[in-house]
Every structure is written in structure tokens, then in C-alpha cells.
A and B are shown apart, each in its own frame.
Chain A
């Protein structure tokens, strides 16, 4: 499987192949993060999700992110959870907005002060 690594702006093109033993071997990477990314893409692809939640009394929404990457297949559920959430300011960078979002075990945290 060919892919572009999204870990850094370099954008290395990676080639991942699952061997007969079930192990994934990676070529094209220039750093260990690249190798891990390719393996994850084959086994458990994940993405950071950044998004917006509404804040009471404000036009400006609160920007948030998942503290870690969540399974790619859960992105839509995470977005739905964000859409249902309303925070009450003040909120500070790093505050947990949704704990264990969409059953991923990952928290959604604020990325701006509001």
C-alpha cells in the first residue's frame, strides 16, 4: 500500500507490505515515526480530529482537538459528538471538553481560550 506520511510537512511517500507472517514491512520512510505511521495505516489507521463546539452566549465557537488520534472510522461519530456539545466559557487551552469521546478512550480538549 502506497501512502503519503502525514506526520510532518516533508510528506514522505511510504510503501507498506504485509508479509506472509502478518508483519508489515515499510519502505520510503525517513524516520521511525514514518514507519509507525505506515504500520498503523495498515492495521489501525488513526487521525487527530480538530473541530469546533458551540459556546453559550458567543458567536465564536470553541476550537477543540482530540488529545490523541482516534480511529479513522470513528471520525464521523466524534464530529457528531462535537456538534451536540455546548460549552460554557470561560474555557482554557487544555481543558477537557468531552471525556472519552465516542467510546474511543480519547478526550476532546479545548485548543483556545474562550
Chain B
């Protein structure tokens, strides 16, 4: 990639520079080592807009602090970033400190910052929660608070709107001179060229400078640890409460934040590792102790988060090092930008951009050509309810709260992902929306946000990491469209296919079938025997043929079947909503959410397992349910048993007796506890009798033997109470026990959706229209009750499909 200017670092300084450069006729790219903007000190600092009274007069820190402070009002208004001039107070505890206040006051005058010393009583009047030990304070009305990561993001967004390109995960590993500028190689091998470079790399800015210049700098990472308190405590202080500064920094502060929480910190500790952002027990203790000095009743039990950030402290100069490196033309530095870096960033950005543009000879754009777009979206938290209701009316996604603590809606989260410099990680969403920053710290919303990220980016949910970007670059800015449907059918087995067909035929325009298997057809695909369709098609078909008729039919009707996708949740429409939200998970699409005016449940049923029978014995391999065996044999091409005993005489068991016989296995007996077979008489005739397989009625398996694999079973006669009769035991040497002991409707989704269940059928209670207790939620097939015949499943499912279509259309 080749451009005019490359800005290294997408922190608040880099983004400020990039945004200012975007006002010039020049190509600009920002290279960021991390996966998002504001990954370094910009995301973890005190969020204070300093008045500028404590920097030594004449230094860059003093100059840019004061300049930057003055820019904040307009900048934050333009970018719609929260900012409040709450003023700041520096507390003195006794005569020594009061002397320091005098010094600060003198510095303030030299820096042109208005300040005033207030006495104990006035201080207490203004801030009733301040420690009675505080004897005086320096009041600086121009001090303020803002949201540093929102500011950084909005500057980046506005820069992008004006043509700046952002490249993430691009850690600059080397910089070399070219004939007309600089050549930067990223750690992953990507190469970038530019006529000018602006180094805003925070704690790493010294390393980059030292690659090109003989004037060496050295950054010492200075860690600051913080404690965040719940917004319950928003009224604790109105101003930012400092203590008198020390050599290491401005001391521990206690301050309201623009988000309504209270921030406590930072400590100051030099650390050798420039990435060490851990908090420590000692550090947090120090922060607590310092804060308690300011506010003895500080409610530390209201802590919701602890974090730390690293200041980029330059040790040789001790000031911001700004401007062109003396021996590296068109290589501009912003080295050692520590506090008051956030405050200074807007001024540094404007100044450095001016320098770089001048060096390139780039002219300013016509102001009419500069976009003010900062990617704004409505924020529920900051918007009057009546006004917000209008946004919800226009886009119902804004009507769903995802983060309850901070009142962040789904619409906001989707907007944050869809932004130009969009969120690609949980942390990215968090910093753009505040989701997960509240009292539960993401406990409630994290899974939902992962779901939305997956949906928007088409990335598997389990691939999401907290702060590493995982989305393929190609997907950036191209969110997956929503699937809006009239009737969504869960399951593409016989019930689902018939319901989908009927829904489409009865006027539902957009019908979608979601199927968890890789192909439609459901259990019919493994039922390769004949005997299906005499009623429905007036001819005898095998299972796959029966399914094939429906698959062809719904294909002809243009009904899509989303295969390999499993429905994980069905949320009925909330108040004022008209659509169900159906969440699905798939390898290809990750987590998705569909909207459906009506839903037909057609998940079928599952087999009762051995555990449901409480058959004693060991738990070796070789015990299968008949349906599982059927799948293994007919679909997977395996025959996992040579000598087989079948417990239960359900139809699948009988069919499998014949199938296993066909496959060369020996079926020793079919054992049924009841006095007659639970399967169809014709299946006893054609599956057992034809092949001489004994059906032992009023018998059951009393013991399963074997360690690794079944080696045998004991079978005994049962009495009228179905208790084994002693002395009637028969032993079978076998390697497989097949269970065909009943089916249970699969209703996890039904229950989760809140539908009333019928204890007799173990399916949902349904009306004659096949509607569950939830309006618009229909059920079809074995999910309702276990059917003997697929033909009847198709018939009843068609009712469900038809009624679902009518329901959906009634909502237009």
C-alpha cells in the first residue's frame, strides 16, 4: 500500500492527527498494532480534561494542555461525544499542601488558566462528601470530564468518513528510508509506503523514532490502576477531586465520569513490560487508600470494575516530544504523550497535521468537501424516551435492550458493528456502546452480543475472542442482511416440509425452513424401507422417496431450506412487536437471528435412552437405540454389531431387525415387556416372522454384561406387574443390545419459548389449528405427539402450515 501520510497508532493522538489530516488533500492511512482504535492508554485513563494549571510553564505539556482544553467543547459537540466541564479541585491537607496550592496557582497564571483557592468551608459547601481533613482546595473551573474511547472512536469514524483508511493488526516492525519517503513493514509482512509518517505509537513511540533517528528517546511504561464504582454513586462529587501532585503524577483522584460512574485512581508504578495491564493487589490497595483520604466514606463496596493503563513516560526529556525528527525528514513524532495527553490530543492533532501537510505541500480541502459524519446513532441512555421511541418505531432493533445495566439496545450494538471503523470484538462493542460496562459487567449481555457480532459478521460464535479481531477482512462493512420471514419452520423432516408446503400454498410469501442436518428429509432419509405414502401419495414409497416428493415440491414453490443450521432459541414477539426472533447457529453463518411472523415447530422426537429404563448392569459400548443404529447403518455405512438382541418391539426396532439381518448380522431375539408388540403387526410379520426371529413377549432384559463392549444380556419373563420372574432367565451371547422402547417429542425449544405443555403427550398443548398456547407459534408432527404413520404427520402438519400462513398474513 502506498499513500501520502501514514499515522502509526490509532489511539486518541493518532486519530486526532488522522482526522485533522483528512482536512487536507492527501492520502492518509492509520496503522494500528491492535485490533481496534483506543487499545492502549486511550482506553484506560482518568478520562479527565485537565485545566492545565500543573504543567511547567513553557513546556509542550502546558502549551498543548491549554490549547486542547479550549477545543473540547466544539470538538465534542461536532463528534457528539459526551463532555462536561465539571471543574476540578486540588485538595490540600494541611499547611504544606496549601503551599503547593500556591505554587500551582502561580503556574496556572503563567499558563493562562483561571483558578481560585477556596477555603475549607466553601469546599465543604461545594462538595459535602469531601474529607473534613481537607483544609483548602484549588478550584479550576475549566477542568472537565469526557469519554476517551468514544472520543477516539468518533474521531476515527469522522476521519474514515473523510477518506482515511484504517489498517488493524499491523504492528510496524521496521521502517526504512526510500527515495521519496518511508517504507514500513508490518510484523506480518505487509508493506506500506508513504511520503510522511506521524508516529503516535504511545508506549512504543520511542522504538519507532529510534528506528529512523539518531536522537534517541526512551519510554518508561508507568502503570496506573483504577477502580470504577457503580453509577449509584454518581452524586458523590460534582468536581474532579485531585490531591496535590507528586513527581510521579497527579496523584489519586476521585471523579464523576460522563457515564455516571465514579472513577478512582490512578496509581503510578514503573513497569518493565509495555503491555503489562494487569491490576495488582498492592496497586488497588494504594488506589483505595488514596481515595479514602479524599473521601473517607467512599463506598468501595460499590466497585464494579478494576483496570489499569500504561502511561508513555519519556525519561530523557520528560515532556511531549512533538514535531519532525531533526535527522529524519517527514518523520513526525508524538513521543512521550502521557497526561495531559487526552486533553492535549486535539491540539496535538491539529498542530502535527499542519506540519505534515506543509511538508507534503498538501492544500486544505474546501470546507464544503469535509464531511462532519461521525457515525452517529441514537443512544437510548442519552436520549429522552419520547424521542427514542421514534427511533424504535423506525427501527425496532432499537427497541430491544441487550445490556440491561447500561440500557444499550440491539440497534446500538448493530450500529457500532456496522460503523466505518466498526467494532469487531466484544471489547470494541463495549467501548462504542458501553454494553457490559455496568454493574453486571457483561454477565447478561455477553452471549447476546456475541450472537449479534456473529450475525453481523458471519463469524462462528465460538471463534469470538474478547479483544482480538476474528472477522475476515473481506466482510468489513458488509453486514449480513436480516432474514425477515412470514413463516419460519423449525425442522425439514416430514412435518416441517409439509408445513412449509402448506404455508406457501396458503399465501405466505416468505417461508423459510431451518434444518440442523446437512440435507432436508429428517428421519425419512434413514428410513430406507418401504411402506410410506399409501395414504398421502396412494403408492408405497421408501422414506427417502417420500421425503424426495416434498423436497421437490417445496423447491418448486421456491421455499428455501437452510441446512446445517440449528435453532437455539425462539423468542415470541415482545409487546408491540410483530415477529418472533428465531436464533440459529451454524458453521457457515455463526449465530443468526431470523424474524418470523409465525413459527411452526417441527423438531420431531428423540428416542428414549437406556437410562429411562433403568436396566441394570455395566455400561459397555454396544448399546444403541434403534434409530441411532439405523442412522449408522443406512446413512453412515457402518454395521456395528454381529450378534444382536433387541429390547422393545417398536417399529424402528422391528425394521432394524430385518435391516441388520440383511446386512449379515444375526438377530437373536426381540424382547418385549408387554403382552403384545408395540409395533405394527405387519412389521412383526415381515421383519421378524419372515426371518425366523423370535419375539419374546412379556420378557425383558434384566442384566447387561460386558466391560468394554457388550458380551451378553440376560432376559427374563415378567409377571403381570412387569416384574422379572425368578428362574426364567435366558442368557444371550451378543455384542449389541438395541433399544426400541419409545419416542419422546423433542420440545426444548417449545418450552424455552414458553408454550404450555401437555403432560400426556409430552408435546405442546395445541388447538385444532395446531397452534400452541403462544399465538403464532404452531407445532406439527412428532413434536406434538408420537405418530405411527408419516402420512398422518404430513396431513396434520399441513394444517399447522396453513394456519401459520393465515396468522402471518393477518398481521399485515
A residues with a Cβ closer than 8 A to B are: 3-9, 11, 13, 47-52, 54, 58-61, 63, 65, 72, 79, 93, 111-113
In the complex, the answer to whether B662 meets A51 with C-beta atoms within 8 Å is yes
In the complex, the answer to whether B686 meets A47 with C-beta atoms within 8 Å is yes
- How far in angstroms is the closest Cβ of chain B from A64? 8
Q: CA separation between A72 and B690, bound complex, in Å?
A: 9
In the complex, the answer to whether A9 meets B690 with C-beta atoms within 8 Å is no
A-contact 0/1 string along B670-686, CB 8 Å cutoff: 00000000001110111
Q: Return chain B residues, CB-CB under 8 Å to A65.
A: 528, 530, 542
In the complex, the answer to whether A63 meets B685 with C-beta atoms within 8 Å is no
- How far in angstroms is the closest Cβ of chain B from A4? 4
- How far in angstroms is the closest Cβ of chain B from A106? 14
Which of A3, A72, A111 has a CB less than 8 Å from the CB of B528?
A: A111
Which of A9, A47, A61, A112 has a CB less than 8 Å from the CB of B789?
A: A9
Q: CA separation between A59 and B662, bound complex, in Å?
A: 18
Q: CA separation between A110 and B529, bound complex, in Å?
A: 12
Q: Return chain B residues, CB-CB under 8 Å to A50.
A: 528-530, 542
Q: Return chain A residues, CB-CB under 8 Å to B633.
A: 52
In the complex, the answer to whether B528 meets A6 with C-beta atoms within 8 Å is no
- Check: B349 CB closer than 8 A to any chain A CB: no
Known: A48-B540, A93-B548. A8 touches B682 (CB 8 A): yes
Known: A9-B789, A47-B686, A51-B662. A59 touches B544 (CB 8 A): no
Which of B545, B636, B662, B686 has a CB less than 8 Å from the CB of A6?
A: B686
Q: CA separation between A51 and B662, bound complex, in Å?
A: 8
Q: Is the interface of A mostly helix, strand, loop or mixed?
A: loop
Q: CA separation between A50 and B529, bound complex, in Å?
A: 5
Q: Return chain A residues, CB-CB under 8 Å to B690.
A: 47, 72
In the complex, the answer to whether B682 meets A6 with C-beta atoms within 8 Å is yes
Q: Return chain B residues, CB-CB under 8 Å to A79.
A: 662
Pick 12 A–B contacts, CB within 8 A, sort by A. A4-B682, A6-B686, A8-B534, A11-B680, A47-B690, A48-B540, A58-B637, A60-B635, A72-B690, A112-B544, A112-B545, A112-B548
| 4 tightest A-B CB contacts, nearest first | A11-B681, A112-B544, A63-B528, A4-B685
- How far in angstroms is the closest Cβ of chain A from B294? 71
- How far in angstroms is the closest Cβ of chain B from A51? 6
Q: CA separation between A13 and B663, bound complex, in Å?
A: 29
Q: CA separation between A44 and B745, bound complex, in Å?
A: 42
Other than A4-B681, A4-B682, A65-B542, give 8 A-B pairs with Cβ distance below 8 A.
A4-B685, A9-B680, A48-B540, A49-B662, A50-B542, A52-B637, A63-B634, A113-B544
Q: CA separation between A11 and B542, bound complex, in Å?
A: 18
Q: Return chain A residues, CB-CB under 8 Å to B529.
A: 50
* Nearest B residue to A61, CB-CB: B637
Q: CA separation between A58 and B545, bound complex, in Å?
A: 20
- How far in angstroms is the closest Cβ of chain B from A113? 7
Q: Return chain A residues, CB-CB under 8 Å to B634.
A: 52, 61, 63
Q: Return chain B residues, CB-CB under 8 Å to A63.
A: 528, 542, 544, 634
Q: CA separation between A47 and B680, bound complex, in Å?
A: 17
Which of B530, B531, B637, B681 has a CB less than 8 Å from the CB of A54?
A: B637
A-contact 0/1 string along B521-540, CB 8 Å cutoff: 00001001111001000001
In the complex, the answer to whether A6 meets B685 with C-beta atoms within 8 Å is yes
Q: Return chain B residues, CB-CB under 8 Å to A93.
A: 544-545, 548
A-contact 0/1 string along B630-655, CB 8 Å cutoff: 00011111000000000000000000
The size class of the interface chain B forms with chain A is 20 to 34
- Check: B788 CB closer than 8 A to any chain A CB: yes
* Nearest B residue to A9, CB-CB: B680
Q: Return chain A residues, CB-CB under 8 Å to B531.
A: 9
In the complex, the answer to whether B636 meets A60 with C-beta atoms within 8 Å is yes
Q: CA separation between A113 and B547, bound complex, in Å?
A: 11
- How far in angstroms is the closest Cβ of chain B from A107? 15
Q: CA separation between A63 and B534, bound complex, in Å?
A: 20
Q: CA separation between A93 and B528, bound complex, in Å?
A: 12
Which of B534, B542, B635, B684 has a CB less than 8 Å from the CB of A111?
A: B542
- How far in angstroms is the closest Cβ of chain B from A83? 8
Q: CA separation between A3 and B681, bound complex, in Å?
A: 10
Q: CA separation between A23 and B441, bound complex, in Å?
A: 86
Q: CA separation between A113 and B528, bound complex, in Å?
A: 12
- How far in angstroms is the closest Cβ of chain B from A56? 12
Q: CA separation between A89 and B420, bound complex, in Å?
A: 47
Of residues A4, A49, A112, which shows the largest number of chain B Cβ atoms within 10 Å of its Cβ? A112
- B106-162 contacts to A (CB < 8 Å): none
Q: Return chain B residues, CB-CB under 8 Å to A48.
A: 530, 540
A-contact 0/1 string along B688-723, CB 8 Å cutoff: 011000000000000000000000000000000000
Q: Return chain A residues, CB-CB under 8 Å to B689.
A: 4
Of residues B529, B540, B663, which shows the largest number of chain A Cβ atoms within 10 Å of its Cβ? B529
Known: A50-B528, A50-B542. A11 touches B635 (CB 8 A): no
- How far in angstroms is the closest Cβ of chain A from B673? 21
- How far in angstroms is the closest Cβ of chain A from B130? 75
A-contact 0/1 string along B41-79, CB 8 Å cutoff: 000000000000000000000000000000000000000
Q: Return chain A residues, CB-CB under 8 Å to B788.
A: 9
Q: CA separation between A51 and B661, bound complex, in Å?
A: 11
Q: Return chain B residues, CB-CB under 8 Å to A9.
A: 531, 534, 680, 682, 788-789
* Nearest B residue to A13, CB-CB: B681
* Nearest B residue to A72, CB-CB: B690
Q: Return chain A residues, CB-CB under 8 Å to B789.
A: 9
Q: CA separation between A112 and B548, bound complex, in Å?
A: 8
In the complex, the answer to whether A3 meets B685 with C-beta atoms within 8 Å is yes
Q: CA separation between A48 and B685, bound complex, in Å?
A: 13
Q: Return chain A residues, CB-CB under 8 Å to B540.
A: 48
- How far in angstroms is the closest Cβ of chain A from B195? 57
In the complex, the answer to whether A60 meets B637 with C-beta atoms within 8 Å is yes
Q: CA separation between A2 and B482, bound complex, in Å?
A: 62
Q: CA separation between A48 and B490, bound complex, in Å?
A: 34
- How far in angstroms is the closest Cβ of chain B from A66? 9
* Nearest B residue to A50, CB-CB: B529
In the complex, the answer to whether B548 meets A11 with C-beta atoms within 8 Å is no
- How far in angstroms is the closest Cβ of chain A from B526? 9
Q: Return chain B residues, CB-CB under 8 Å to A112.
A: 525, 528, 544-545, 548
Of residues B534, B637, B684, B690, which shows the largest number of chain A Cβ atoms within 10 Å of its Cβ? B637
Q: Return chain B residues, CB-CB under 8 Å to A52.
A: 528, 633-634, 637, 663
- How far in angstroms is the closest Cβ of chain B from A82? 8
- How far in angstroms is the closest Cβ of chain B from A101? 14
- How far in angstroms is the closest Cβ of chain A from B641? 16
Q: CA separation between A90 and B249, bound complex, in Å?
A: 75
A-contact 0/1 string along B574-601, CB 8 Å cutoff: 0000000000000000000000000000
Q: CA separation between A65 and B684, bound complex, in Å?
A: 20
Q: Return chain B residues, CB-CB under 8 Å to A51.
A: 528, 662
- How far in angstroms is the closest Cβ of chain B from A31? 11
Q: CA separation between A58 and B540, bound complex, in Å?
A: 28
Q: Return chain A residues, CB-CB under 8 Å to B681.
A: 4, 11, 13
Q: Return chain B residues, CB-CB under 8 Å to A61.
A: 634, 637
- How far in angstroms is the closest Cβ of chain B from A29? 13
* Nearest B residue to A63, CB-CB: B528
- How far in angstroms is the closest Cβ of chain B from A40? 13
Q: CA separation between A62 and B534, bound complex, in Å?
A: 23
Q: CA separation between A112 and B549, bound complex, in Å?
A: 11
Q: CA separation between A5 and B531, bound complex, in Å?
A: 13
In the complex, the answer to whether A59 meets B636 with C-beta atoms within 8 Å is yes
Q: Return chain B residues, CB-CB under 8 Å to A11.
A: 680-682, 685
Q: CA separation between A50 and B656, bound complex, in Å?
A: 12
Q: CA separation between A111 and B438, bound complex, in Å?
A: 58
* Nearest B residue to A58, CB-CB: B637
- How far in angstroms is the closest Cβ of chain B from A5? 7
- How far in angstroms is the closest Cβ of chain B from A62? 9
Of residues B529, B662, B684, B685, which shows the largest number of chain A Cβ atoms within 10 Å of its Cβ? B662
Q: CA separation between A4 and B788, bound complex, in Å?
A: 18
Q: CA separation between A4 and B634, bound complex, in Å?
A: 27
Q: CA separation between A104 and B633, bound complex, in Å?
A: 26
* Nearest A residue to B636, CB-CB: A59
- B508-530 contacts to A (CB < 8 Å): 525, 528-530
